[in-house]
Amino acid sequence: MSDGPTYGFDTLQIHAGARPDPATGARQTPIYQTTAYVFRDAEHAAALFNLQEVGYIYSRLTNPTVAVLQERVATLEGGVGAVCCSSGHAAQIMALFPLMGPGCNVVASTRLYGGTVTQFSQTIKRFGWSATFVDTDDLEAVKAAIDENTRAVFCESVANPGGYVTDIRALADVADAAGIPLIVDNTSATPYLCRPIEQGATLVVHSTTKYLTGNGTVTGGCIVDSGKFDWSANDKFPSLSQPEPAYHGLKFHETFGPLAFTFHGIAIGLRDLGMTMNPQAAHYTLMGIETLSLRMERHVENARKIAEWLEADERVEYVTYAGLASSPYHDRVKAQYPRGAGALFTFAVKGGYDACVKLVNALEIFSHVANLGDARSLIIHSASTTHRQLTPEQQEAAGAGPGVVRVSIGIEDANDLIADLDQALAKASA
């Protein structure tokens, strides 16, 4: 779309990054199912490989379908650029890759998806990186955890599984004072409910698998660059501020300015890590984003109704939905997430672990799957699945104790979902 009028979210989710195909006039973004692209001549090829010209070389790096998705997500998030990749987990590694080095660490929230906790506590050690986990509501603890080797602070806007909402602005201030970026996983909120860059985040990551695609068909990830961080302000980020040997001493920040992180993610990250998003996945995600605002409104409406019903049910010990008036995060939601607290939360079933298993097995409309953000309503017992690799203490800290189930509320009829939960709770408590 051209520079000029400032368009609303509903318009941008359909049009941002997309133009009629110049060859055919096709209105929908085509799936460019190709591995390579013909150069105009040898000089053109050399310019592309030297990063002197922007264009398409090889689909591990860039692809026209994926490029539209990158521009669309960046626009919706208020960033200057984005890099799409093969999954949300890939996006997390891609986000850290230009920042970290052996001996470096990231300060991460204790309230994270179980797979992220495992990735940060175990897998990244193989790169010589480490993570320190803290309660990000305790800003003094965050400050104390940051040391001379810390290269980023990492949190989720709406935390998986508990649906807790993060005070992004407060965390951004702490990160800014330390001269390091704040990375926010905005998967559960989406840019419709929360725009972390406006609240001070440097980078935003997504599992596009979830709400952005919204139909449970393909996996994908995305890293959005705010373009606002000064990578040359200190010597902590040599990959972005110092000469890059693979490009004859080019300095990414000096050369590309606000787009330094984005160009590095493509020219180094995708080139060497190869975590590429395929064009078919990008196409499905683009189609999903076209209805993002409509879906999120229904997700939030249904979640609020169901959370209120569960909270009033004597078979339920507690509900963590931040949109409830009883939630300790209620005021934060009103101030920072005015369109709602998302549709992801947990509730504890009286009877503990065994009752949770019975509940999951008795549901008919809810699907028992290891996913969230689908148009369908989903449920999982995190302690025995997504968070089972964690210690009991880590499970409790993440809000995934043995007597807790996580629900991702879909866009079905809310009364039907309540009836399904009612009959399943009856069996679970029998």
What's the confidence (pLDDT) of residue 391?
Answer: 78
Same domain membership, residue 298 and residue 267: no
User: Contact, 296 vs 190, CB < 8 A?
Assistant: yes
Place of tokens 């318009």: 11
Based on its alpha-carbon atoms, the radius of gyration of the chain, rounded to whole angstroms, reads 22
User: Contact, 199 vs 179, CB < 8 A?
Assistant: no
Query: Residue 180 belongs to a domain with what CATH number?
Result: 3.40.640.10
What's the confidence (pLDDT) of residue 155?
Answer: 98
CA–CA distances in Å: residue 138 to residues 135, 141, 144, 171, 185: 6, 5, 10, 10, 19
Last residue of a domain, one of 288, 318, 333: 288
Query: Residue 369 belongs to a domain with what CATH number?
Result: 3.90.1150.10
What's the confidence (pLDDT) of residue 15?
Answer: 95
Same domain membership, residue 238 and residue 377: no
Q: Examine residue 3 and state whether it is found in any structural domain, yes or no.
A: no
Phi, psi of 119 (to 5 degrees): -60, -45
> Model's pTM, two decimal places?
0.94
Same domain membership, residue 200 and residue 88: yes
Same domain membership, residue 328 and residue 204: no
Per-residue pLDDT of the chain (430 residues; tens, 9 = 90+): 555 568 999 999 999 999 888 889 999 999 999 999 999 999 999 999 999 999 999 999 999 999 999 999 999 999 999 999 999 999 999 999 999 999 999 999 999 988 899 999 999 999 999 999 999 999 999 999 999 999 999 999 999 888 899 999 999 999 999 999 999 999 999 999 999 999 999 999 999 999 999 999 999 999 999 999 999 999 999 999 999 999 999 999 999 999 999 999 999 999 999 999 999 999 999 999 999 999 999 999 999 999 999 999 999 999 999 999 999 999 999 999 999 999 999 999 999 999 999 999 999 999 999 899 999 999 999 888 766 777 777 777 767 788 999 999 999 999 999 999 999 999 999 8
Tokens (6 digits) for 20: 């009629």
Same domain membership, residue 323 and residue 176: no
Last residue of a domain, one of 288, 322, 347: 288
User: Contact, 253 vs 245, CB < 8 A?
Assistant: no
Same domain membership, residue 376 and residue 228: no
What's the confidence (pLDDT) of residue 13?
Answer: 97
Kindly report the number of other CB atoms within 10 A of residue 217's CB atom: 14
Q: Examine residue 43 and state whether it is found in any structural domain, yes or no.
A: yes
User: Contact, 259 vs 74, CB < 8 A?
Assistant: no
pLDDT tens string 45-74: 999 999 999 999 999 999 999 999 999 999
Same domain membership, residue 278 and residue 324: no
User: Contact, 113 vs 55, CB < 8 A?
Assistant: no
Last residue of a domain, one of 271, 288, 305: 288
Q: Examine residue 257 and state whether it is found in any structural domain, yes or no.
A: yes
Same domain membership, residue 402 and residue 305: yes
Count the domains in the chain: 2
Q: Examine residue 2 and state whether it is found in any structural domain, yes or no.
A: no
Give the type of residue at 8.
Answer: G
Same domain membership, residue 212 and residue 151: yes
What's the confidence (pLDDT) of residue 364?
Answer: 97
Same domain membership, residue 302 and residue 253: no
User: Contact, 192 vs 163, CB < 8 A?
Assistant: no
What's the confidence (pLDDT) of residue 388?
Answer: 72
User: Contact, 379 vs 92, CB < 8 A?
Assistant: no
Q: Which residues pair with 344 in a beta bridge?
A: 408
Q: Angle between the 414-428 and 352-362 helix axes, to the nearest 10 degrees?
A: 130
Q: Examine residue 57 and state whether it is found in any structural domain, yes or no.
A: yes
Same domain membership, residue 255 and residue 107: yes
User: Contact, 121 vs 106, CB < 8 A?
Assistant: no
Q: Examine residue 219 and state whether it is found in any structural domain, yes or no.
A: yes
What's the confidence (pLDDT) of residue 4?
Answer: 53
What's the confidence (pLDDT) of residue 1?
Answer: 55
The CA distance from 393 to 397, in Å, is: 6
Q: Examine residue 140 and state whether it is found in any structural domain, yes or no.
A: yes
CA nearest to 168, candidates 82, 98, 261, 78: 78
Q: Are strands 344-349 and 316-319 parallel, antiparallel or unpaired?
A: antiparallel
Under DSSP, is residue 316 helix (H, G, I), strand (E, B) or coil? Answer: strand
What's the confidence (pLDDT) of residue 5?
Answer: 66
Same domain membership, residue 380 and residue 304: yes
The CA distance from 66 to 273, in Å, is: 17
Domain holding 36, by residue range, is: 9-288
Q: Examine residue 76 and state whether it is found in any structural domain, yes or no.
A: yes
CA nearest to 345, candidates 315, 324, 367: 324
The CA distance from 412 to 251, in Å, is: 51
Give the type of residue at 386.
Answer: T
The CA distance from 222 to 357, in Å, is: 34
